[in-house]
Structure 1
């Protein structure tokens, strides 16, 4: 059996004051993120124990705290800070994919959202 797996956190909805424009810093806005954590899930699939896996509830708490701790001008910088915090807190995570979107960006045009997707490896 495979020794790898992924923990998926989809559409985490947070309000923060990130962005390049002054009104984004002043008014804030919603952000929606998806996280995919690469890790070995074999032990937890056998033991059925939270102690043998990455606690996604704790990851959500860490991501929420990290995302709110400082102001980011770019989504790319915010995504990197999230990945670094997860790697620091969870040695079992070997890779992270972060998708970060603004559902209502302050730019003209009609769209569902704008955003970025970055992939990080522990050895990068």
Structure 2
């Protein structure tokens, strides 16, 4: 499949209990997720039918469920779980990029956030 489109889900704000430190497990914190879903959007662009693309609301629900289903010590593990859930749920998605940020990490510094960005392709 050629890369003929991207679906964007940006600044999805989810409260969860991920992190290495015990206070993160007890108190939880906000996380911000950005996703780029690589999808051939030509059919949807031509037909203007939801059946030719993917339902953004369903995608958000699947991402939220995957992200909160268990506790992860590392952002990398949580991001991988999200990516695998998207690829499992949506055969049209050829690849997914997940950006995951902690806006208030337990780090003694003034900063906007810390985070990671991981990319996954179907079949990798």
**Does TM-score exceed 0.5, indicating one fold?**
yes
Q: Which residue of 2 aligns with 1:4?
A: 4
Alignment of 1:2-81 (within 5 A): 4-81=4-81
Any idea what the Cα deviations from partners look like across 1:5-61, whole Å, max 9, x if unmatched? 000000000000000000000000000010000010001001101010011110000
Instruction: Give SS of 1:111's match.
Output: coil
Instruction: Name the SS of the counterpart of 2:73 in structure 1.
Output: coil
| Residues 36-92 of structure 1: CA deviation (Å, up to 9, x unaligned) | 000100010011010100111100000011111000000000000001001100011
Correspondence for 2:86: 86
Tell me how large the CA RMSD over aligned residues is.
1.0
Count of residues in correspondence between the two structures = 123
- Contiguous gaps of at least 5 residues in structure 1: none
Contact 1:3/1:42 (<8 A) preserved = no
Moved over 2 A (4+): none
SS at 2:95 equivalent = strand
User: In the aligned structure 2, how far is the partner of 1:104 from the partner of 1:14?
Assistant: 13
- 1:97 aligned counterpart, secondary structure: strand
Aligned to 2:111: 111
TM-score, normalising length from structure 2? Answer: 0.97
Q: Distance in 2 between matches of 1:95 and 1:3?
A: 10
